[in-house]
A = this chain, B = another copy of it.
């Protein structure tokens, strides 16, 4: 067990040193300076080997993804990520693995000026739990509960590629050779929409990041906001690779149910549309209007302007129809 103490050195050498971290790694707690007129947002996500990533995933991708899924939650609140704590459970000590894992963690941390302020290293089956925190001006955070009937439904980026990569890994689909690497990268190195989230906080009425799947996460917004929504299936942004690899129906099913996209799904009033589109363009993020919020408390879908039924027993069963 003492050896596990030694590997702490992997986590103490980092380039990010924030002024608001009064005490970093190395004491009983980290200490953070007071933050006047700012709210702090906090999120925790665990990745378990074989459950949240395939066992053969590279150490660098695991490190990246563990940070990315947490920063994605911070982005969905419109906040700016600041500090993370990292709890890692390892079956054994593999210096090469740890070096690569840390590279994945710190690349993202450096890019977003996020300091690793502490954590724990324990022996056991591989799993990583990160608690990430961020700052946002007082009262400005986005939640899932602000969507209103009439608001437009938007999504950043393209949806479904991570799920396609998972199908490829599970031998459920055969991809053209040229498609494999870019699709694998979408699964392994998701980009948290941190800048988009901050740009949206002046405009969006509700926001969530897509981790469970577009339909399930829209369900979370609808439930929290007590509204319904219609999705225009032909409007869902699909990558050229996804379109080229699957029939349209299968591609749409994957986009609706796949998950692991880490794009932002958000709602916006008619009045805020132009401002929002300008703000996202300024940070270089593509967004697409894929539907509208309504008062029905159910989620419907249309294709070619015609209703397409989804299972009455719930969104989860859509893929069974």
A interface residue numbers (CB < 8 A to B): 1-2, 22-23, 26-46, 48-52, 73-74, 76-77, 79, 83, 85-87, 89, 117-120, 122-125, 127, 129, 131, 133-134, 136, 138-139, 141, 143-145, 207-209, 224, 316
The verdict on A27 contacting B77 (CB below 8 Å), with A36-B34, A51-B123 known, is: yes
Known: A31-B77, A33-B39. 6 other contacts (CB 8 A): A28-B209, A29-B73, A30-B41, A46-B122, A89-B127, A129-B129
Q: In the assembly, what is the distance between CA of A122 and CA of B128, in Å?
A: 11
CB <8 Å contact, B77 and A28: yes
Q: In the assembly, what is the distance between CA of A51 and CA of B124, in Å?
A: 8
Q: Which residues of B contact A138 (CB under 8 A)?
A: 33-34
Query: What's the minimum C-beta distance from A131 to chain B, rounded to whole angstroms?
Result: 4
The verdict on A73 contacting B28 (CB below 8 Å), with A33-B39, A127-B127 known, is: yes
Jot down 6 A-B pairs with beta carbons below 8 A, ordered by A.
A29-B73, A35-B35, A40-B40, A42-B117, A42-B133, A43-B85
CB <8 Å contact, A120 and B44: yes
Q: In the assembly, what is the distance between CA of A22 and CA of B77, in Å?
A: 13
Q: Which residues of B contact A119 (CB under 8 A)?
A: 44
Stoichiometry, copies per complex: 2
CB <8 Å contact, B117 and A46: no
> Smallest CB-CB separation from A141: which chain B residue?
B31
Residue of A28, A42, A77, A127 with most partner-chain B CB within 10 A: A28
CB <8 Å contact, A48 and B122: yes
> Smallest CB-CB separation from A41: which chain B residue?
B29
CB <8 Å contact, B43 and A118: yes
Q: In the assembly, what is the distance between CA of A76 and CA of B110, in Å?
A: 30
- Partner among B29, B33, B52, B145 whose Cβ is within 8 Å of the Cβ of A42: B29
Q: In the assembly, what is the distance between CA of A42 and CA of B119, in Å?
A: 9
Q: In the assembly, what is the distance between CA of A30 and CA of B83, in Å?
A: 15
Q: In the assembly, what is the distance between CA of A50 and CA of B1, in Å?
A: 13
Q: Which residues of B contact A22 (CB under 8 A)?
A: 39, 139, 141
The verdict on A27 contacting B124 (CB below 8 Å), with A34-B37, A316-B2 known, is: no
CB <8 Å contact, A29 and B85: no
CB <8 Å contact, B123 and A48: yes
- Partner among B41, B50, B85 whose Cβ is within 8 Å of the Cβ of A131: B85
- Partner among B2, B43, B87 whose Cβ is within 8 Å of the Cβ of A44: B87
